Structure 1
């Protein structure tokens, strides 16, 4: 592989505020994949688009987006269509599956179980564990590498997905431990994390994820960000 073909930056973005972020009982009557953005979510997305355009330096970008309604609306609301070389819906970047129509009381019970069992390994009834999402993100990385090893591929990558998926992408990319992953919080709605190519062609995050639990990252884990 020609190292110069590696993208200059890989931008990870969480969708804007969705109706389920405001009212979790929405899951009882609307399929997860069909939940839309709120009005505030659309406003967040528009503001994020202004920031993103500057970050991309007005250069072309290749986009991979979760096929969920809220992520597709987020991409559409960024206002960067003129920069998008191609946009591909990528099911492997979808949200962690928790069930179909959810029973709020049961999900609350399972959240408590997950806290004691471990967020990475706990599998929701009729759904996925964090480890399952990690596995499908791992296969997506193979596609990502193949795509950018093509002549004249854009030097910018944008991935529009979900908070947990973003953390697991970075866990897989930087080979973080399960304990470190468990200590991290999801980014806020419409928030970015950017992997920036360094002079040695490796990547570093522009800033770390926030930590909600006490865990001291190893030197290797800390080396993932600038």
Structure 2
């Protein structure tokens, strides 16, 4: 079983944080640069998925759905899965509150800090655990799934599959837009094709 994880292409919120004050997170559009990124990523993703039949599971946000459409793929089945959505920051945000929460979250820790009207990283981790527990319900005959999701969600998918500590998770950087990782499940468990960028050593000394 292979899971090809890919982050959505560049969206408006990635280049203009004030967009979150006037557009719901789930409705943020891709930028023109993001549209180009997604089209260019398509051939690479087809190569990673291989020649056999594959399915797609996609976060139901505008930016993930549009990225998937521009990848130009031909899956046997596509499912929108809300559990693969971005960490919920609440509804429309105000600039001052957003900056304050980002600073608090960085100091407190991204996993346990609960956003005032949204989720903690631990909440996202819980829904990812439920999703991974249902992978055996994938379409019959499909050995690979493309998961079109978000940066933090990608890191938590890898954390859950690989059994990483919370400390290690918090030391990792989000992948870039349209960056991918491949998780493969064998007889001895999951393996990851390559590590995530790491901005500091994990406090508990654990490594990828």
Give the TM interval when normalised to the shorter protein: over 0.9
Residue 159 of structure 2 aligns with which residue?
171
1:161 to 131, 143, 149: 149
The answer on 1:207 being equivalent to 2:199 is no
1:126 to 107, 117, 121: 117
Q: Aligned runs of 1:58-69 on 2, under 5 Å?
A: 58-69=51-62
What is the RMSD computed on CA atoms of the aligned residues? Answer: 1.4
The 3-state SS of whatever aligns with 1:10 is strand
Shift of 1:142: 1.8
TM-score, structure 1 normalization: 0.87
Residue 13 of structure 2 aligns with which residue?
20
2:136 to 142, 145, 162: 145
Change (3 A) 1:37 1:102: same
Shift of 1:203: 2.5
Counterpart-to-counterpart distance in 2, 1:143 and 1:217: 31
Specify every segment of 5 or more residues in structure 2 that has no aligned partner in the other structure, as ranges.
Answer: none
Counterpart-to-counterpart distance in 2, 1:217 and 1:75: 37
The answer on 1:79 being equivalent to 2:49 is no
Specify every segment of 5 or more residues in structure 1 that has no aligned partner in the other structure, as ranges.
Answer: 1-6
Residue 184 of structure 2 aligns with which residue?
196
The 3-state SS of whatever aligns with 1:154 is coil
Shift of 1:217: 4.9
Cα deviations across residues 98-140 of structure 1 (Å, max 9, x unaligned)? 1200112111111111111111000111011000100111111
Counterpart-to-counterpart distance in 1, 2:49 and 2:103: 40
Shift of 1:201: 5.4
Counterpart-to-counterpart distance in 1, 2:158 and 2:70: 25
Counterpart-to-counterpart distance in 2, 1:80 and 1:110: 38
Cα deviations across residues 125-165 of structure 1 (Å, max 9, x unaligned)? 101100010011111112213326xxx42111110000000
1:103 to 75, 94, 99: 94
